[in-house]
Each structure stands twice: as structure tokens, then as C-alpha cells.
Structure 1
Amino acid sequence: MANIRDIAKLSGYSVTTVSRVLNNHPYVSEEKRTKILKIMQELDYIPNAKARDLSSGKSKHIAVMIPYANHPYSDKIVSGILNAAFKDGYKVTLLPTNYDPTIEMNYLNALAAKAWDGMIITSKKVSFEVIVRYLKYAPIVCCENTGDFPISCVSIKREESYIDLFTSLKKQGYHNIGLTVGRTEKESASTGLVLQAYNSIIGLSDPSMIVRNCRTYEDGIQAGIHFATLKNLEVIVTNGDDVAAGILQHISLAQVSVIGEENLLSSRLLNFSTIDHHIDQCGEAAFQLLWEKESRTVSIPYTFIERR
């Protein structure tokens, strides 16, 4: 099997020049590049990827930590990351965690061992105090507000969207508003934000108006069974379009307004309103932030899509 020295000998150029061609170095004349590439093709030479990565110091490979592999939120944000990574020629490895802190730590330790050039964390259980210690090994971007920690992040304006939505519903005269949430407020900043906005603007007079642990279409079906027993229910605000779609198996839009989240296909097919936080744009912005030298926060605006 041919190696880089064989190519150098046959081409009449140095090993350094051949190496520059292999790594797409700009300072090589087209004459030299063409001759070397032709010899590589004739010899059916395939460069050693690991050796090339060691030479360049980069693998063009990033990791994306996601809580679940089969969740609409993960699908949409990963889609944005993949689009941006593909344009720049990067490979992407997805790392599902199921919010297990031990698994998350294993992935962070692999990052420290140079398994990838960088990591995007879409959602996590470990603290920012832990994550910040790994910045010395490789760039990390989080898809949630990191506050005062020097970790680049993409901030989705969830709090603003919830406040605006509940304020608008109250102004329209709605009082009996149901709500679904996923993880507990101790585990999820998003859950904390929506509950705080709901309590401060609508007021929690009846605990049965809130259904917890909703993440999937199937969870939505169970929530719909519950909400169907409540009298005078006017609106249900959900934490996901698929949850809303499940609720609509037992609730009629003609009787109760159902509002979803993230503008997925289900909301378009079933024609219900939704809050679009543009998490695909969040994924694209997160990829770009990986390569900036200074930590920075990028805010993505939301859009309320009203359907009747």
C-alpha cells in the first residue's frame, strides 16, 4: 500500500508539499497540486484520517449532547446544527443522555480527551459550574442562557414568549387556562419560567389546571383525557406541538383553544396556534459560536403563529 513518502518520491516533491496538498493548504501551486493528486489517484491512495487529524490539530468533528434521540425538540435543533456543520464540512456525533449526569460527565471527559473539536449542549442535567471547567479543553456552546458563566450560549426568549402569551390571553378575557409542562421546575429552567409567568399573570387557583410530565404525543393523550373532565376550560397552553396533538384526540378546537410550541408539522396539519422559538436557528447559531474566541450570547426572537 502506498504511503506519503511514495507519493513524494514519484512526484519529485517533498513530503511537506504532499502533506500540504492532503490538508488543502492554500500555499501550493496548482501545477504541484494537480500532479500530486493525479499520482494519488493512480496509486488509489487513501489518506490516513487519524494521522491527518493529528497533523492539523483538528478532526472537523463535533459532538452534540441531546437529552433524547426521539424528541421533536431534539430533531429540530439538531437539524439546524447539521445544516450549518454540513456547509463547513464538519461531521456531527449525537450524544443522547436521558438527562443522566453520569453519562453527561462521560461525554465531557471524552471531549477533554480530544474526541471532538467542540461540543454543543442542547439541554443537560450537570451544572454550568461543571461545564465551565471543560472550556480549557475545547469550545462548548449551550442552547440555554448561561447567565454570568463565561460559556457561549444561544438564548431562546422563552420567558418573554410566555409572558406575552399569558398577558394576551388575559386581555382577551380568558381565565380558565390549562397548562402542560415537562420536567419539574427544579430540573428545567423552561418549566420554571412558564410556571412563574402563569402564576404571576393568570394565577393558580386550581391545581388541576396543570398537567405535569408531558413530553410526547402519548403524554398529550393522557392530558387530554384529564382536561376533558374539567368544566369551563377555555384554553390549553402546551409545552410542545406533539403534546397538543395528543390532547386534541379528546378535546375539540371548537370548544377549547389549544396552543402548541415549536411550529412542528402536527400544528400545521391540525391547524392550531403555536409559539415558534425557531430552535433550528438556535442550532445554526450554536455551531457558529463554537469557533468564536470570546464567549458570547446570541438571542433568537420568537414568533406567535395564530391559527383559527
Structure 2
Amino acid sequence: MTTIRDIAKLTGYSVSMISRVINDYPYVDEEKRQKILGVMNELNYVPNRMAQNLSYGKTRNVGIIIPFVNYPYFDQLLSGMTQAAFAHSYKITLLPTNFDQELELAYLNEFATKEFDGLLVATRANPIETFIPYFKYGPIIFCEETPDIEVGSVYIDLAGSLREALTSLKVAGVKKLGITLGRSKGVSRNSRLTIQLCQEIFPNFTDDHIFWDCLTVADGVEAAAHFKERDIDGILANGDEVAASILRNYQQETEPLIIGRENLLVSDIMAFSTIDHHVIQCGEKAFQLFFDKRLDKVKMPYTFIKRNRHGQVE
């Protein structure tokens, strides 16, 4: 196997000069650079990037802790992170947890062994206190609000967007509100906030008006049946695909007012209102905080897209 010392002997230059060319250092004489690159090409020499990374203390690899990717919110978030990472010549490694606390902890221990330069956390399975001992190993950026801890985070304006959406439903005449939410085990801070706002704006709102563990189109079918039995006339869904599935399973003359999230094409086609949380930009910003090693807390703006029955934006 050809080594850097072999390249040095064949070119007549020092090992340090070969290293500078391999690592694309500036201020190397162009004639020397071309001669060294020519010999490397003839010998099919490929630098050992792993060894280089160890010597620099960097892997140029960022880990992304994410529960799963077959859900529009996380898919968009990942898309933004990936675009930003590639723009900075970083690799990404997906670390899916399915909200398994032990698996998430195993990923943190991999991070402690310098498998990654940093972590981007889409959402957590463990309490945030679990992450604190790992801050010393590199930047960890959270894609959720972290008010009580000094750490970088990028988060959507959930309180503002939901308040506007719920108020819109009330003004439109909705009397009985139903909502769909994600995991019922280990209820997230976002779910608790959503319920609190529903109770504030719709005083007759009860736990029976919640359809939990709603993530897929199939879940939307069950949610529609749940809401029909309770004569729900307005729904705040946790995603546009779920909202579309619910509407599809209602009789047109009885379908409720519904608001989805993330401004997917289906919301335009089926003419229902939605909230665009600009999740792709959220993912891009999260990577940038990691790259810049900043501890900023960034609240992303949202856009409430209100559509009438004819699909026109009001």
C-alpha cells in the first residue's frame, strides 16, 4: 500500500510538504503541488481521511437524533439540516430513536467517543438533564424551546401560531373543538402547551376531544370516527396529511372546519387552512448554530394560511 513517505521519496519533497498538498494548504508553490498530485494520481493514492480527522480532532460528521423520518415535520426538518450540512461539506448520520430512551442514551455515548463533531436533536426521548453531561464533547443543538438551560436551540413559535389558529376557529363559529396529537406516552411539552391553549380559548374543551397517537393517514381515519361520535365541528390537526385524511372520511355536508400544519400541497388541493412553521429553515438554522458554535435561542416565525371553502387564501 502506498504511503505518504513513498510519495515523498518519489517526488523528492518532504513528508510535511506532501501533507500540506493533501490537506490543500495555501501558499504551496503550484509547480510542487501539481508534481505531487501527479504522482499521487499515478499511484492511485487515497489519503486516509479517518486518520486525518483524528489528527484534527474532527470527523466532519454531525449526528441527527430524530424519532423517525416518515412524518412530514421531521422530514422537512431533516431536509433543512441536510442541505446546510452539505453546503459546509459535512456528512450527516441519522440516529433514529422511535422515542426509545435507552437507544437515545446509546447515541449520546457514541458522541462521547468522538463519533460525531456535534448533535442536532429534532426532539428528545429523555429529559434534557440527561444531555447536560455530554455538552463537554461538542455542540448539541435542540430543535425545541429550552428556556431553563444554556444551550443552542431553534424552535417554532407554537404558542403564537396555535393561539391564532384556535382563535380563527372560534371566530368562525366552532363550538366543539377536537385536536389530534402525537405520542400519548411521555407527553411532550408541545402537547401540554396545545392542550392548555385549547382549554383557554374553548372552555368546554375536554380530554375526550383529543385523539392521541395520530401520525399517519390511517390514524386520521380513526380520528374522523372519534370526532364524528362527539359531534366535533372544528379540528386542529397536528399535520396536513392527518387533516386531509380526516376530511376525506367525513360526509361533505357535515365536514368540520379544520386547520392543518406545515403547508403541504394537500392543504391547497383540499382547500383547508394550515400553519406554515417554516420547518426547513428551522433545520438549516439549527445546523448553522452548530457550525458557528453558538448558544443562541432562535424562535422561528410562522405563517397562518387561512383558506375559505373555495381554496382561496383570505
TM superposition score category, shorter chain reference: over 0.9
Partner Cα distance (1:227, 1:68) in 2: 27
Partner Cα distance (1:185, 1:175) in 2: 29
Partner Cα distance (1:63, 1:23) in 2: 24
How far did 1:195 drift?
A: 0.7
Aligned to 1:244: 243
Q: How many residues align?
A: 307
How far did 1:174 drift?
A: 2.5
Q: Retained in 2: the 8 A contact 1:185–1:192?
A: no
Partner Cα distance (1:12, 1:160) in 2: 67
SS in 2 for 1:248: helix
Moved over 6 A (4+): none
Q: Retained in 2: the 8 A contact 1:180–1:211?
A: yes
Partner Cα distance (2:23, 2:268) in 1: 46
How large is the Cα RMSD of the aligned pairs? 1.8
SS in 1 for 2:52: helix
Instruction: Give the partner amino acid of 1:246.
Output: S
Partner Cα distance (2:151, 2:248) in 1: 42
Instruction: Give the partner amino acid of 2:98.
Output: N
Instruction: Give the partner amino acid of 1:297.
Output: K
Say yes or no: does 1:78 pair with 2:78. Answer: yes
Partner Cα distance (1:141, 1:207) in 2: 33
- Match runs of 1:169-188 below 5 Å: 169-184=169-184, 186-188=186-188
Instruction: Give the partner amino acid of 2:269.
Output: L
Aligned to 1:2: 2
How far did 1:8 drift?
A: 1.6
How far did 1:83 drift?
A: 0.5
Aligned to 2:130: 130
Instruction: Give the partner amino acid of 2:26.
Output: P
Change (3 A) 1:102 1:244: same
Instruction: Give the partner amino acid of 1:105.
Output: L
SS in 2 for 1:145: coil
Instruction: Give the partner amino acid of 1:49.
Output: R
How far did 1:207 drift?
A: 4.2
Partner Cα distance (1:172, 1:201) in 2: 13
Aligned to 2:93: 93
SS in 2 for 1:55: helix
Partner Cα distance (1:185, 1:301) in 2: 29
How far did 1:161 drift?
A: 0.7
TM-score w.r.t. the length of structure 2 is 0.92
Partner Cα distance (2:2, 2:111) in 1: 33
- Any gaps of 5 or more consecutive residues in structure 1? none
Instruction: Give the partner amino acid of 2:249.
Output: H
Q: Deviations for 1:150-207, whole angstroms, at most 9, x for unmatched residues?
A: 1100021011111121123223332222211112485211111111111011123454
Say which is worse superposed, 81-90 or 199-208, in terms of deviation: 199-208
Change (3 A) 1:204 1:10: farther
- Match runs of 1:47-126 below 5 Å: 47-126=47-126
Identity among equivalent pairs (%):
45
Partner Cα distance (2:94, 2:258) in 1: 32
SS in 2 for 1:135: helix
Aligned to 1:268: 268
Say which is worse superposed, 289-298 or 89-98, in terms of deviation: 289-298
SS in 1 for 2:92: strand
Partner Cα distance (2:96, 2:276) in 1: 24
Instruction: Give the partner amino acid of 1:213.
Output: D
Q: Retained in 2: the 8 A contact 1:121–1:143?
A: yes
- Match runs of 1:154-165 below 5 Å: 154-165=154-165
